[in-house]
Chain A
Amino acid sequence: MKPEPFVRVSGIASPMPEDNIDTDIIFPARFLLLTTREGLGEHAFADRRRHRDGSEVAGYVLNRAPFAAPRFIVAGDNFGSGSSREQAVWALLDLGVRVVIAGSFGEIFHNNCLRNGILPIRVEGPQRQRLMALAEAEATFVADLPTQTLTVAGADPIAFAIDAERKEAMLHGWDETDQVVARFADDIAAFEAAQARLQPWLYPVGVPA
């Protein structure tokens, strides 16, 4: 499944000034019984957006008009911690989110973002508080991947880091499995031949042809 290429994305940011927004909050476990990856946005933050009886929680950020379908999210520390569920990322994508700005990220969530064309950007301290205030004021956020710059009117431009090959893959929307097969097939076969010699117990049915 090829992710959508990411070059430059701009739009409104939903402010979520809270730490430890875990993947159970982003996508509650009961919806994991769905086995597709499309249309999951309606369940994103389900228990924050709706009361038990299905009525909307008034004032919750995703229930406020400009923030309901954001391109950006600005959150506290440890966003996406907890469960490995990729549904959390697919649900955000389905809402339209392409960039998450947080103080830190759950590691599995971070990887899942990169694999799906969502850009996780780490911003800490007063700089993030400033972004949070600008998000609340409905400022337009712009993330430019080629120059690795986050720009918001009213704040200094912020340079962000991303590993070189991940950046390349995001810019082109490459599928990782295709990449591994195309670039490393020989390396994999050579690794297996060597490992099977040294640790034959890991190869009960032999090395693949």
Chain B
Amino acid sequence: MNTPRTLYAKLWDAHVVRALPDGEALLYIDRHLVHEVSSPQAFAALREAGRVLRRPETHLAVADHAVPTRAAAPGADPADGPRPCDDPLARGQIAELEANAAQFAMPYAGLDGPEQGIVHVIGPETGLTLPGTTIVCGDSHTTTHGAFGALAFGIGASEQATVMATQCLRQKRARTMRVTLTGALPPGVSAKDVALAFVARVGSDGATGHAVEFAGPAVTAMSMAARMTLCNMAIEAGSRVGLVAPDETTFAFVRGRRMAPAEAELDRAVAYWRTLASDADAVFDREVTLDLSALVPHVSWGTSPGQTLPVGGSLPDPACLGDVDRASPAAAREAARALAYMGLAAGAPIAGTPITHAFIGSCTNGRIEDLREAAAVLAGRHVDPGVRAIVVPGSAATRLAAEAEGLDEIFLSAGFEWRLPGCSMCVAMNDDRLEPGDRCASTSNRNFEGRQGPGGRTHLMSPAMVAAAAVTGRIVDARGLLP
């Protein structure tokens, strides 16, 4: 009598406050992450309407996008704090977040405190991110938290105001897509390569309107960090929701986190979380299978994450694109436009392209596992003289953990700058940005025009691939540099 349900359906059903016409529902929102850039207008809307937070303890605010990642120089004025911010606009935005959090009694992870970091890194670290919950944030990469079996999605500022005042949001139920990952990941290939291959396979809007569940033996074998990398990039295929069913790996990660349940309550929670996995005969609207056993490192070449190639591949030639089945004159135009922006020649191999910058960090690849992956390539090597290389841990806790393992020394002696946590060069809203014509090997998630600075050129790749590009000065297959 019970219809088999998907993980997405179970999460959705458990949060319907009221079903509405046309497949919409008023959904209950359990947790809300808040950052300085998308929230000012939401707080302003609350103030204008004279509203308060319905449940202040369900929110967590942190400054990450606009913050500087450079520590105060030795001898700097102590009054400027350990992380001086020269940009008055950025300083104002951070101060506004602090003031708003104080006014509305919203918990705030202070800029120089132990819980500061990128929203999507600190959510899981603090235990705010729990299986079975709904989580929103004024940020499209909220998909990341789906790695825990949470229904997590990005929203706009007006929606944030509604969540703050009511803990609810009108939403339309999505279709479902299951991406089954089979085979074991070969050495030197990581979750980032899977994510890039997935986006290349379905296209930048291929999963629009769908909640994507990553499933299969290869997902079960993945660490939480790898699952987060995967779900993080679901939005690059157009999906607002990425999901992985919670399992023992998830429960072990959650245990002991500040905001996670403990002891008898944790047992009770885990018993519930175990029921969330998609039923064996649940039906998905779309099925995609990716065999990972032959996967190779991937690199984006264009200005949309779907414009991605295996590292051994060659750039498209718009002149020939018209012949390929799926391509259209529009696709050829897009390719020509992207090649021109990227300053690349049609038909040339992507490997060997010289870079000027290397960036390791972001909510995609700023976790301790990512730093270890890069450090394994960097140990005993040095950054090419033509490359400026920075590594920006995703959170204060990640930075501390890396230092405890001595990773900072590996990065520093390889010639990387070891920075304070923040979004940094992922978004170019702070001091870390490219100049026109710069070319960056980056572990971030978007290669849009100007994303890392106006006129800057981004190649998305894994931490190992960025490390390899940094030491060779060009895009190269990292597997050749691994022990």
Residue positions of A touching B, CB distance < 8 A = 1, 17-20, 22, 24-25, 28-30, 32-37, 47, 52, 76-78, 81-86, 89, 104-108, 111-112, 115-116, 163-166, 175-178, 180-181, 184, 187-188, 191-192, 195, 198-202, 204-205, 208
CB of A20 within 8 A of CB of B166, answer: no
CB of A1 within 8 A of CB of B238, answer: no
Q: List 10 A-B contacts (CB under 8 A).
A: A24-B450, A33-B92, A37-B41, A83-B139, A86-B41, A106-B208, A163-B22, A177-B162, A187-B26, A200-B265
Shortest distance between the CB of B206 and any CB in chain A (Å): 10
Q: Shortest 5 CB-CB distances between A and B: which pairs?
A: A201-B261, A35-B40, A86-B156, A33-B89, A112-B156
CB of A188 within 8 A of CB of B154, answer: no
Given A29-B427, A47-B449, A89-B156: A78 touches B168 (CB 8 Å cut-off):
no
Task: State whether the Cβ of B80 lies closer than 8 Å to any Cβ in chain A.
Answer: no
CB of A176 within 8 A of CB of B158, answer: yes
Task: State whether the Cβ of B190 lies closer than 8 Å to any Cβ in chain A.
Answer: no
Given A24-B449, A116-B158, A184-B18: A33 touches B140 (CB 8 Å cut-off):
no
B133 surroundings in chain A (CB, below 8 A): 202
CB of B334 within 8 A of CB of A20, answer: yes
B41 surroundings in chain A (CB, below 8 A): 35-37, 86
Task: State whether the Cβ of B279 lies closer than 8 Å to any Cβ in chain A.
Answer: no
Given A78-B204, A83-B140, A205-B57: A187 touches B18 (CB 8 Å cut-off):
yes
B449 surroundings in chain A (CB, below 8 A): 24-25, 47
Given A24-B450, A78-B208: A199 touches B21 (CB 8 Å cut-off):
no
Residue positions of B touching A, CB distance < 8 A = 17-18, 20-24, 26, 28, 30, 37-38, 40-41, 44-45, 48-49, 51, 54-55, 57, 65-66, 87, 89-90, 92-93, 96, 130, 132-133, 138-140, 153-159, 161-162, 165-168, 170, 172, 204-205, 208-209, 235, 238, 240, 259-261, 265-266, 268-269, 272, 303-304, 330-331, 333-334, 337, 427-429, 436, 446, 448-451, 454-455
CB of A104 within 8 A of CB of B208, answer: yes
Highest count of chain A CB atoms <10 Å: which of B48, B428, B451: B451
Residue of A nearest to B449 (CB): A25
Shortest distance between the CB of B372 and any CB in chain A (Å): 29
Shortest distance between the CB of B429 and any CB in chain A (Å): 5
Cβ-defined partner of B334 (8 Å) among A19, A89, A180: A19
CB of B24 within 8 A of CB of A165, answer: yes
A205 surroundings in chain B (CB, below 8 A): 55, 57
A115 surroundings in chain B (CB, below 8 A): 156, 158-159
B138 surroundings in chain A (CB, below 8 A): 84, 86
CB of B429 within 8 A of CB of A165, answer: no
